[in-house]
Amino acid sequence: MNNIVSLSRWVKYLLVFITLLQMSSFAMVMSLGELENGAYLYTLNWGGFYSHFSIDFEHTWQSIAQVLEAEGLHAGWILGSVELMPCLVIYFFLYRLFSLYQTRQIFTQANFNYLSYIALTCLAWLFISLLYPLLITLLLRVFERAEATSFYFSFGSQELYYLLTSLVIYCIAWIMKQAAELHDDAELTV
């Protein structure tokens, strides 16, 4: 049990580090990077050391990113921030889950809840990735910014990945719920 407590503490530190790193690199690329072939790129050059940062959009989002840029809008902030949000939500729920583990609460209803929230976030991201390009195109047409913009709807391997991930995490959550119920029954039996 002490290993779980110690590991949970380190995982929480790692989650905070990853969150800060992702947010700061996102802000840096969006502020200083340029759109090239459907991806925002920013390269740091420190003498002999190069660091390359990029945020790219899937094939469907690449076309919309180019249309937004042609209309004088910053596609990175419009598309990229929506892409960043599910990651931040998942990091938050993972942090809370490992906080429970750190306090030796392994088989609880709260564990099931946090795992379910992560699964729902992945499922929500599936619908966002399908519908957000349509919404952006509709808004561009309503505000007469780009009438020739086609409506994009794409269901590919990335969307299947979100669906599969959501289902697997929910199954793990359900198993944790069953384990919590067994754990509670075992504590009542003396």
Diameter over CA atoms, the chain: 72
CB 6 within 8 A of CB 20: no
What pLDDT, on a 0 to 100 scale, did the predictor assign at position 131? 86
What pLDDT, on a 0 to 100 scale, did the predictor assign at position 57? 72
User: Count of CB atoms within 10 A of residue 36's CB?
Assistant: 10
In what helix (H) or strand (E) does residue 39 lie, and over which residues does it extend?
strand 39-46
What pLDDT, on a 0 to 100 scale, did the predictor assign at position 101? 92
Q: Is the dihedral of CA 134, 138, 144, 150 positive or negative?
A: positive
What pLDDT, on a 0 to 100 scale, did the predictor assign at position 147? 63
What pLDDT, on a 0 to 100 scale, did the predictor assign at position 132? 85
What pLDDT, on a 0 to 100 scale, did the predictor assign at position 14? 96
What pLDDT, on a 0 to 100 scale, did the predictor assign at position 58? 66
With CA atoms as reference, report the closest residue to 167 among 95, 118, 114: 118
What pLDDT, on a 0 to 100 scale, did the predictor assign at position 19? 96
Q: What's the pTM value of the predicted model, to 2 decimals?
A: 0.83
What pLDDT, on a 0 to 100 scale, did the predictor assign at position 148? 63
DSSP strands (E only) in 49-129: 49-56
Q: Which segments in the chain show pLDDT lower than 50?
A: none
